[in-house]
Amino acid sequence: MMKKLFNLLLLPVLIFGISKVSAQGISFDKYHTNDEVQQILNSLQTGNSGSVKLHTIATSPGGEEVKVLEIGSSLEDVPAIFVGANFEGDRPISTEGALYLAQMLLDSSKYTENIKWYILPQPNPDAAAGYFADVKYNLSVNQFEINKDVDEALNEDGFEDLNGDGLITKMRVKDIEGSYVVSKNDARIMVRAKTSKGERGAYKIYTEGIDNDADGKYNEDGPGGINVGIAFPHLFPRDKKEAGRFSGETPEVYGILRFIYDRPEIAMVYTLGSSDFCAVQPKGGRKGGANLSNIKLPGRYARMFGADPNKTYTMEQVIEMVKPQVPPGMEVTPSMVAGFLGLGAAVNPLDADLKFYKNFNQEYKKFLEAKNYKTEALDPAPAKDGSFELWAYYHLGVPSFSMNLFTVPKVKEEKKEENGALSLDEVEKMETEEFVALGEEKIDAFLKENNATKFNAKTVIDMMESGKVTPKQMVAMLKNMPKPEKEEGELSDKDKALLAWSESHWEGKGFVTWEAAEHPTLGDVEIGGYAPYLESTPKAELIDSLASIKIPWLLQLSTKMPELKIADSKTTELGKGVYKLEVFVENKGEIAYPISMGERNNYPAPVMLVLDGDIEILEGTKRMKVGSIGSNQVKKLSWIVKAKINSTIDARLESVVFTDDVKQIKIGG
C-alpha cells in the first residue's frame, strides 16, 4: 500500500521527466563529477565567447578551481543576479540545477537582455567529490586542515567501512549506559528512551569506524576540513569547528565574498541547497540582536521625542517621532534609527520583507500546481547559521531566495474517521463568527489535535468575540507551537518518509539492515542505518524532471526585480526667474529598492538623481539621494532653482545597480 502511494506521488515528476533536455551539449541523466562540471563550464564559455566569461575566484584546499560563470559579459550598466549551489557539497542535485539554469539562459535571450547572471555551481568541490567516492558518508567539509579534537595530530580518526558495503552508516552497541532503544513500531529505527516515562536505554549509537587515536571518541577527527556552507559572516557558528576559526578562513568563502563585494550591481541572490525561501519565508524568532517591532526608547530619547519610556514602539513609529527633529529634506531611515539607539545587529527578517516573501511563496505554490506538481514533501530545512543565503539577505540587503530541488515525499495517511477535528487550513479560511458557531466541543477537539492544551474553547471564543484574535492569527500561532507527541512507539514523519522512499525509490537499499559484526574495541556490534545521501539526493533519472519543473521559477523571479526610471517632471514658476522643479522617480518592479533590510544596512548602493545644466540651485543639492521606493510606487524629489527662461537641464538617475536614465527638462516658456 505504501509503495503504491509513493508511485502515485511521483507520477507528476515522472511524467515531466520523459523527455531529456540536452541543449548546449549538457545531458542531465547523471550526476557530474567536478572535472565534468569544469569541462561543462569551459565548453559553455567557448561556445558563447561573446556573452559568456569564466572567473576563477579560488582554489580549494584540495587543489580544485572554483569558477563563476558570467552570462551577459557584454552587458554594461545593468543589474545582476548571483546564483550559488551546493555550498555544503552533499547535494549534487543542486549543482545540476545550477547547470540547468545556465543552459536555459543560453537557450533563450528573454531573461538575459537586461540582466547579467553570475552562476557558481560548485563552491565546495572537495566535499562534492564525496558523492563519487568508493566509500560514501555525506561529506560536507573541504580539505582544509583542522585539528578538530585539539590534540597533536591531524585527520587521525576518520570513518572506516567495517562491513565493506561502501557506505558509512551507524553502529549500535548494547550498553547499560546507553540512551537509545529499538522502536516498538519498527525494529530498524533507534529512538531515545523516554526516561520521563520510566523507559531505560539499552544501546549506544556510534558512526561506523574505529577509535584510531584511543581517546574514547569515534571518527571525531577525519580528513578535513571546513564546511563552506556554514562559513559566511552572518551568525557565523563559532562553536562549530567545521565552520573554521573565522569567516573567510577557507579560500572558497573568501573568494566568494571578494567576488560579490567587487560587483555592487548584484541586486538579487539565489541559493540552490537544503533551505527553500521560494516555498517558505525565512525563519524568524531568533533571540538577541535587534527587535525592530518592539523598540523601547532610552529615557533621554523618550523625553526628546515626547514618548513614553515604559512603552514599546515599532520602527515606523520611531521614524515618525524622529522626522521633526532632523533638518528639512533629510531622510530618516531604519539604519539611522538603529544606529543612534544602538539596537544591534538584526537577526530576524523584517516585517516589510516578509510580505514579499509571503506573496512569492503563494505564487510559487500556484506555479507548481500549474505544472501538476503536487507532491507533498517533508518540510525543507531552515537556513543554517553561517549560510550563504542568510548572509546575502542580512549583509548585502538584497532579496535572497533559496530553492530545494528535492525533499523526500511525505507518506499520506488516511485521517482517523473517529477524529472529526478540523484542519488548520480549514480554520484559517474561516471568519470569526463562523469559527465561534462551531461550538465548544468542536473547538476543544481542534485545540487538542494541535497540541494547544493550555487553551480551552471558552477562552478562545472570548478572545475571538472581543476582537483580540482572528481564526487566521490563531492558526499562525498554532503552526509555531511544538507538534504533539507521537503515540507510543509511533515513528516520526521523517522516519516514515525515509523508509517509504527507500522502498519505493531505492528498492529497499536506502536503509542498510542491521547486521552483527565484531569490533576491535567495542566487541559485538551491529552495523546499519540510513544510507548516505538518501535524504538529499534522488536517483539521476529524476534530475531532469525536477529541474524542468522548478528551475523556471527562478527565471520568473528575475522579472520581479526593482526597476527604477524617471517617470515625469514638473516645473512651477515662482517669479523673477525662480522655479520649483519636481522630478518623479518610479519603481516598476514588484520588490522595493532597497528592501527593508538593505535600507537598514545602508547597503546596497544608493540611487542618485543628478541635475546638470545652467541653473543655480537655491534649495536642494545637485546630487540627491533618491532613498527607498516601494514596489510599483512613485517618489517625488524637489528643488528650488534659478534659471533663464527656455533653458534646458538634464535630470540623470545614476546607479551602480540599474541602467542610468536621463530626462531633459525645459525651464519656463
Provide the 3-class DSSP secondary structure of residue 77: coil
Omega before 604 within 30 of 0, i.e. cis: yes
Using alpha carbons, select from 359, 331, 401, 343 the residue that is nearest to residue 635.
331
Per residue in 466-493, pLDDT (tens digit) is 877 888 888 877 776 666 555 555 789 9
| pLDDT score of 488 | 55
Using alpha carbons, select from 514, 492, 511 the residue that is nearest to residue 173.
514
What angle, 0 to 180 degrees and rounded to 10, lies between the N-to-C axes of helices 493-505 and 2-16? 70
Helices (DSSP H) in 262-350: which residue ranges?
299-305, 315-322, 334-341
Strands (E), 236-361: 266-272, 295-296, 312-313
Q: How confident is the model at residue 430 (pLDDT cuts 50, 70, 90)?
A: confident
Average of per-residue pLDDT values in the chain: 88
Question: Is the pLDDT reported for residue 220 higher than 80?
Answer: no
State how far the Cα of 156 lies from the Cα of 522, in Å rounded to an integer: 19
What angle, 0 to 180 degrees and rounded to 10, lies between the N-to-C axes of helices 92-107 and 34-47? 10
State how far the Cα of 393 lies from the Cα of 397, in Å rounded to an integer: 5
Average pLDDT over residues 514-523: 94
- CATH number for 564-667 (one of 3.40.1080.10, 3.40.50.1820, 2.60.40.10, 3.20.20.70): it is 2.60.40.10
Give pTM, 2 decimals. 0.84
Count of beta carbons in the 10 Å neighbourhood of residue 104: 20
Class of the CATH domain delimited by 2-132+256-285+350-407+537-552:
alpha beta
**Antiparallel, parallel or unpaired: β 647-654 and 661-667:** antiparallel
Choice between 254 and 487, residue whose per-residue pLDDT is larger? 254
State how far the Cα of 241 lies from the Cα of 190, in Å rounded to an integer: 27
Question: Is the pLDDT reported for residue 249 higher than 60?
Answer: yes
State how far the Cα of 72 lies from the Cα of 61, in Å rounded to an integer: 30
Choice between 217 and 130, residue whose per-residue pLDDT is larger? 130
| Contact call for residues 149 and 113 (beta carbons, < 8 A) | no
| pLDDT score of 298 | 84
Choice between 277 and 109, residue whose per-residue pLDDT is larger? 277
Plot region of 164 (φ>0 → left; ψ -120 to 50 → alpha; else → beta): left
Q: How confident is the model at residue 424 (pLDDT cuts 50, 70, 90)?
A: confident
β-strand partners of 53? 70
HSE-CB of 41 using CA atoms within 13 angstroms: 25
Choice between 405 and 149, residue whose per-residue pLDDT is larger? 405
Nine-digit cell at 143? 580539505
| Contact call for residues 391 and 275 (beta carbons, < 8 A) | no
Residue with cell 565493506: 164
| Contact call for residues 542 and 18 (beta carbons, < 8 A) | no
Domain boundaries, the chain: 2-132+256-285+350-407+537-552, 170-218+509-530, 295-341, 424-479, 564-667
Across 185-199, 422-436, 520-534, least confident range = 422-436
| pLDDT score of 154 | 42
Q: Which amino acid is at 499?
A: L
Residue with cell 551491529: 526
Per residue in 168-195, pLDDT (tens digit) is 999 999 999 999 999 999 999 999 999 8
State how far the Cα of 260 lies from the Cα of 232, in Å rounded to an integer: 13
**Antiparallel, parallel or unpaired: β 295-296 and 266-272:** unpaired
Question: Is the pLDDT reported for residue 147 higher than 80?
Answer: no
Q: Which amino acid is at 325?
A: Q
| Contact call for residues 236 and 391 (beta carbons, < 8 A) | no
Q: How confident is the model at residue 460 (pLDDT cuts 50, 70, 90)?
A: confident
What is the percent of the chain with per-residue pLDDT over 70, rounded to a whole number?
90
Q: How confident is the model at residue 413 (pLDDT cuts 50, 70, 90)?
A: low
> Going by C-beta distance under 8 Å and a sequence separation of 6 or more, which residues neighbour residue 416?
none
Plot region of 576 (φ>0 → left; ψ -120 to 50 → alpha; else → beta): left
Report DSSP state, residue 145: -
Question: Is the pLDDT reported for residue 166 higher than 90?
Answer: yes
Per residue in 282-337, pLDDT (tens digit) is 998 887 777 777 888 888 888 888 899 889 998 889 989 988 888 776 778 777 78
Residue with cell 561529506: 139
Per residue in 59-88, pLDDT (tens digit) is 999 999 999 999 999 999 999 999 999 999
Q: How confident is the model at residue 18 (pLDDT cuts 50, 70, 90)?
A: very low
